[in-house]
Copies of this chain bind each other. A is one copy, B any other.
Amino acid sequence: MLPDQHLLRIPGPSPIPPSVQLAMSQPMIGHRGQEAKELLKQIKPKLKFVFGTKQDVSIITGSGTAGLETAVVNAVKQGEEVLVVETGAFGERFSKICAAYQLKTHHLKVDWGNAVTPEAIQEYLRKHQNIKAVFTTYCETSTGVLNPIEEIAKTVHTYSDALVIVDGVSCVGGVETKMDEWGIDILVTGSQKAMMLPAGLTFVAVSDRAWKVIEENEQPRFYLDLTKYRDNLIKDSTPFTPGLSLLFGLKQALKLMEEEGLKQVYSRHQLMMKMTREAFRAHDIPLLTNDIAASPTVTAVNPTDFKAEDLRSIIKSEFGLSIAGGQQHLKGKIFRIGHMGYCSVADVLQTISIIEIGLTRIGKTIELGKGIRAAQEVILEGNNNV
């Protein structure tokens, strides 16, 4: 193993681009001065573009969970009825936050590895007319499932007045997101996944109809009060001291996304997903999700004839390659490969070729290079610009 080389292919945090790292090394500035205002002014339109919204996107210094709690504490209040769609560990995270705020929470549990169907949500809303908000997850990091947010949002709006609140932490920035067009009311993401930054910032955008609910919501809140962020952001400012080095980095990360082109960013993620899936398919190693439910940012693999932990352990110690294990009841059973943000098709080829060596080392008989060939063919069949 090469000292100082960390091949980070977990589903977040993701690697930091060198120019973002460099940007974050800039000297501190006063957060109430003109330079900080300039910085936020430049960031604002680009963040809106990534979210697919005309709304300003609030930037809160905190990790993704702070963003999820922000959505809860602003949109609903104690005793209200909500529906949480649980397709994995991060759906459950919403439930835990709702429980802490003593909401009357309904749980729509979906088997891990599957996406929720709009029909199941429709059925639920039909039975429970008082649901004020539906909490759901765009990419479920624990299983590599991408839920059909556009259809979910349209279903909720057709059958209820509930707000559609979406955890987009592990995919916004890497997967097409049209907040306004799809009718998402509150969309949350974090900095450390497809946004190519360290953890420490969470982004929250709010629709016009959700702003009306938030303004009238008496649920006590202070640091996470979205109206404070909105009112300051209009003046290119933040209500509390922001994580400035992360904002320096954010400006550069957004510049990189703009240079590559968002459409191209999304097709690169699609390509990386297909490459990873075809590689395992070539070796007859089962994937946890089907093609339709698969996320372009993380792939979960569900091996039947070797131990996920043996593979993870050998590739980490021999090559410095980190992939993630499973969570909760899938712990020790599956492994998950992150391919998001600052990750190229070349990096995916590297990951697969190392995994093939790892599989051989732990005693599984495979045809070396077969997964790589399948992934190479995905590139060659795609367009020329990867």
Residues of A within 8 A of B (CB): 1-5, 7, 17-20, 25, 256, 259-260, 268, 318-321, 342-347, 349-350, 353-354, 356-357, 360-361, 367-370, 372-373, 376-377, 379-380, 384-386
**6 nearest A-B pairs in the assembled complex, by CB-CB distance:** A369-B373, A369-B369, A350-B350, A2-B344, A349-B353, A4-B17
How distant is the Cα of A79 from the Cα of B319 in the complex, in angstroms? 54
Please state if A360 and B342 are interface contacts (CB–CB under 8 Å).
no
How distant is the Cα of A346 from the Cα of B86 in the complex, in angstroms? 38
Q: How many copies does the complex hold?
A: 2
Tell me the interface secondary structure of chain A in the complex: helix
Please state if B350 and A347 are interface contacts (CB–CB under 8 Å).
yes
Residue of B nearest to A15 (CB): B5
Please state if B344 and A5 are interface contacts (CB–CB under 8 Å).
yes
Q: Collect the chain B residues with CB atoms within 8 Å of residue A367's CB.
A: 373
Q: How far is the CB of A347 from chain B (nearest CB, A)?
A: 7
Q: How far is the CB of A35 from chain B (nearest CB, A)?
A: 22
Given contacts A368-B373, A376-B369, contact A386 B319 (CB under 8 A): yes
Please state if B368 and A7 are interface contacts (CB–CB under 8 Å).
no
Please state if B342 and A346 are interface contacts (CB–CB under 8 Å).
no
Residue of B nearest to A253 (CB): B4
Q: Collect the chain B residues with CB atoms within 8 Å of residue A17's CB.
A: 3-5
Q: Collect the chain B residues with CB atoms within 8 Å of residue A343's CB.
A: 2
Partner of A342, one of B4, B25, B380: B4
Residue of B nearest to A7 (CB): B346
8 further contact pairs, Cβ within 8 A, besides A5-B17, A353-B376: A3-B260, A7-B346, A347-B350, A349-B349, A349-B354, A350-B353, A360-B376, A361-B380
